Structure 1
Amino acid sequence: MNIIIPMAGMGKRMRPHTLTTAKPLIPIAGKPVVQRLVEDIIATANEKVEEIAFIISPAFGEKVEKMLVDVAASLGAQGKICYQKEALGTGHAILCAADSLKGNVFVAFADTLFKADFKIQTEKDAIIWTQKVEDPSAFGVVKLDPDGRITDFVEKPETFVSDLAIIGVYYFKDGENLKKELQYLIDNNILEKGEYQLTTAMENMKNKGLGFYSDQVEEWLDCGNKDATVYTNQRILEIKKDTETLMAASAKFENATIIAPCFIGENVQIKNAVVGPHVSLEAGVIVENSLISNSIIQEQTTVKNATLTNSMLGKNVNYSDKAKELSLGDFSVVS
């Protein structure tokens, strides 16, 4: 099985955090979003993952590329870097990894995480993962027949047709067939709202008789903006608290109270402070004389004399104030 991870977007809704860090590399409970996504996919797979193709912008740079290849290697797969130089839609993005579109293929867009307890049924032609939502009008949804087979894809329905929202995670039994359908869109300039869309290719495949099915995830976690990312960090800490080591042995504490679950990274220093619940402190963070809850503080950042909640601070920030809620990018200084 191969995994395709389109992640070339610039993450404008996550600014200022994505001005210096690609959105899928923002840490959630100590691991980049994309790493957690790939781990979740592999946990559902019934077979060995051979390749993980990361579709990125050339602007991400060599450091990011090496990190992604290392993530794949840590999971026993070969990492491949593919470039999408122009934002031309989801179908175009996936086709940028054409060489990896073979055999069983899993496609997952790297701004979402999920909690699920199932194994994929690889004998099915295609599976689209969904989650029930209260307001389907904001999502692409699927309609099902009584056997669970998808009959229609509907983008942002104005009237109710289904509450099963597509979360951006897909399985295809025949990657070569998917590649052929995506290439057909490009060759014939078949556009939807000015872009080549995966849903157009899937509609063509369905109309040719391929069986598309829906599986539901237990929980769908978005990383599209600051508030959603902070909430996702909270949920991942709760989900992983019994299965992952969340506190580094090198962390130092002096008159500190930690309210679990929290992630405390390497060489973190906490003095005269209360941290938690649902706080992630990345490597080298210093916290003094502060109260922090429900927040993500990225590496090498210093927080002093502060009360923070529902906040997200980037790397190498120096912050000292009384604000209650923050979103600061890398290298900010507030005092």
Structure 2
Amino acid sequence: MKAVLLIGNFSGSLRPLTLSQPLPLLRFCNRSLIFHQLQALKDAGISQVVICHPNKEVPADWTAAIEQLSGELGLKLVCSQETEPAGTAGALKHAEALVTDDGTNDAPFIVVNADVLCSYPLRDLLLAHLKRGREGTLLTTRSEEPSEYGVVVVDERTGGITHFVDRPETFVSDRINCGVYVFSPAIFERIRASSRVSMNELLPAMAKAEQLNSMLLSGYWVKLTSTRSYMGAVASHLEIARYLAPASLAESTPDFTVTGNVMVHPSATIGKGCVVGPAVVIGPNCRVAEGVRLESCTLLEGAAVASHAIIRESVLGLGSSIGRWCFVNGSVLGEAVEVCEALLLNGATVLPQKQLERNIRSPEIVI
């Protein structure tokens, strides 16, 4: 069985983190984002994934990363490069021959947006699709801010979607499109070739034709629209790991204390007297000195925190460093940012390769 992973662009909206790494390769809980999505697809029985992405934006290390992931996961990964931006549905049309084996394969296939993370009940979604026999089945979830997404109106008796509205200005429903689908190959007949078409244009027509089904997600879901959504997703993922993979979480030692869910890479070092957690991820080759307090934060590879610093609700980029006695709150640091000793950072967003020698007391972007 096949699946499609849709990558709209590589920079995404998680700047400054994605200024140094493409979004799919950005580390999330010590694995790349794309690894989590590919692992979920493999667990659902997928053997081949077609990765749709723009041709003009391919990062230098992309091909090597895909080859490594293919070997590590045992999945066949094939890239479909768009010569021109085609939109989410247009990208799918561009990959039609790869998905259908030039029209000889009529099996349904899974589609996942690359900027989405969730609990991925893909086997259940596939079964729901096969049961209803419609052209498409959407994974949906409930949202307190539905106007920010594609909203669906569902017939609760059948699960069929009667209306699909993109970012409605008035309340329509609290159920939204998760960006995870199962489609039958008949969908390709609905997409115009060589044109830019988004899913939000395609899905309303399918709903009107009564060819769109739904399944309500019971687990967590997040669309990575900001670094704040990234941090919220970390907390949810670690909570799931507490039940599904407890061995992946750290425990207290005689030298430091762990509170709540914490993930520490084996190559990282943590000094004496530290208190770490909850919702903390410490990446490869990170160095945390003595007396540090870490809470609701992620340290990406090579980040360093000097003694007696406090880091809360923040992300430290690749190779960034925090000086002694610093207090960093609600901030995001790009790659190789150096924060000097005894500074306050409150709501700072710092682009890569910067050295901070002053306090930032209110939200500010440092360019």
The verdict on how the C-alpha distance between 1:216 and 1:71 changes in structure 2, with shifts beyond 3 A counting, is farther
TM alignment of 1:171-190, pairs within 5 A: 171-174=182-185, 177-182=186-191, 184=192, 186-187=193-194, 189=195
| Cα-Cα RMSD | 2.5
Q: Note the C-alpha offset of 1:208.
A: 5.2
The verdict on how the C-alpha distance between 1:162 and 1:61 changes in structure 2, with shifts beyond 3 A counting, is same
Is this contact kept in 1: 2:6–2:112, CA < 8 A? yes
Return the alpha-carbon distance in structure 1 between the equivalents of residues 226 and 244 of structure 2. Answer: 27
Return the alpha-carbon distance in structure 2 between the equivalents of residues 82 and 150 of structure 1. Answer: 30
Aligned amino acid, residue 149 of structure 1: G
Q: Note the C-alpha offset of 1:15.
A: 0.8
The verdict on how the C-alpha distance between 1:87 and 1:253 changes in structure 2, with shifts beyond 3 A counting, is farther
The verdict on how the C-alpha distance between 1:60 and 1:314 changes in structure 2, with shifts beyond 3 A counting, is farther
Is this contact kept in 2: 1:65–1:81, CA < 8 A? no
Matched, 1:50 2:35: no
Higher alpha-carbon deviation: 271-280 or 253-262 = 253-262
Aligned amino acid, residue 137 of structure 1: S
Show the counterpart of 1:66. Answer: 64
Aligned amino acid, residue 164 of structure 1: R
Is this contact kept in 1: 2:314–2:328, CA < 8 A? no
Q: Report Cα offsets for 1:68-119 as digits up to 9, x if no partner.
A: 3433444432011222354442122323423332232111111111125562
Match of 1:111 among 81, 100, 115: 115
Task: Normalising by structure 1, report the TM-score.
Answer: 0.86
Q: Note the C-alpha offset of 1:313.
A: 1.0
Return the alpha-carbon distance in structure 1 between the equivalents of residues 328 and 206 of structure 2. Answer: 53
Matched, 1:316 2:319: yes
TM alignment of 1:246-285, pairs within 5 A: 246=248, 255-272=255-272, 273-285=274-286
Higher alpha-carbon deviation: 198-207 or 225-234 = 198-207
Q: Report Cα offsets for 1:13-55 as digits up to 9, x if no partner.
A: 3111000111222222222222212333444x3xx31211122
Is this contact kept in 2: 1:259–1:276, CA < 8 A? yes
Higher alpha-carbon deviation: 141-150 or 268-277 = 141-150
Is this contact kept in 2: 1:56–1:84, CA < 8 A? yes
Show the counterpart of 2:178. Answer: 167
Higher relative contact order (CA 8 A, sep 6+): 1
Match of 1:140 among 142, 150, 159: 150
Higher alpha-carbon deviation: 83-92 or 258-267 = 83-92
Aligned amino acid, residue 229 of structure 2: A
Return the alpha-carbon distance in structure 2 between the equivalents of residues 83 and 279 of structure 1. Answer: 36
Q: Note the C-alpha offset of 1:291.
A: 0.7
Match of 2:91 among 90, 93, 101: 93
Return the alpha-carbon distance in structure 1 between the equivalents of residues 154 and 252 of structure 2. Answer: 54
The verdict on how the C-alpha distance between 1:148 and 1:242 changes in structure 2, with shifts beyond 3 A counting, is closer
Is this contact kept in 1: 2:268–2:282, CA < 8 A? yes
Matched position secondary structure for 1:14:
coil
Return the alpha-carbon distance in structure 2 between the equivalents of residues 3 and 181 of structure 1. Answer: 19
Return the alpha-carbon distance in structure 2 between the equivalents of residues 25 and 131 of structure 1. Answer: 26
The verdict on how the C-alpha distance between 1:180 and 1:75 changes in structure 2, with shifts beyond 3 A counting, is farther
Aligned amino acid, residue 310 of structure 1: E
Is this contact kept in 2: 1:6–1:108, CA < 8 A? yes
Q: Report Cα offsets for 1:253-304 as digits up to 9, x if no partner.
A: 7822222411111310100322111111111000013111111111111111
Matched position secondary structure for 1:300:
coil
Show the counterpart of 1:152. Answer: 163
Q: Note the C-alpha offset of 1:8.
A: 3.8
Higher alpha-carbon deviation: 65-74 or 1-10 = 65-74
For structure 2, the residue ranges without an aligned partner over 5 or more in a row are: 101-106, 341-367
Show the counterpart of 2:298. Answer: 296
Matched position secondary structure for 1:180:
helix
Show the counterpart of 2:137. Answer: 127
Matched, 1:307 2:296: no
Is this contact kept in 1: 2:311–2:328, CA < 8 A? yes
Is this contact kept in 2: 1:130–1:217, CA < 8 A? yes
Higher alpha-carbon deviation: 95-104 or 309-318 = 95-104
Aligned amino acid, residue 116 of structure 2: T
Task: Normalising by structure 2, report the TM-score.
Answer: 0.79
Is this contact kept in 2: 1:263–1:280, CA < 8 A? yes
Is this contact kept in 2: 1:2–1:100, CA < 8 A? no
Show the counterpart of 1:192. Answer: none
Identity rate of aligned residues, in percent?
21
Matched, 1:3 2:6: no
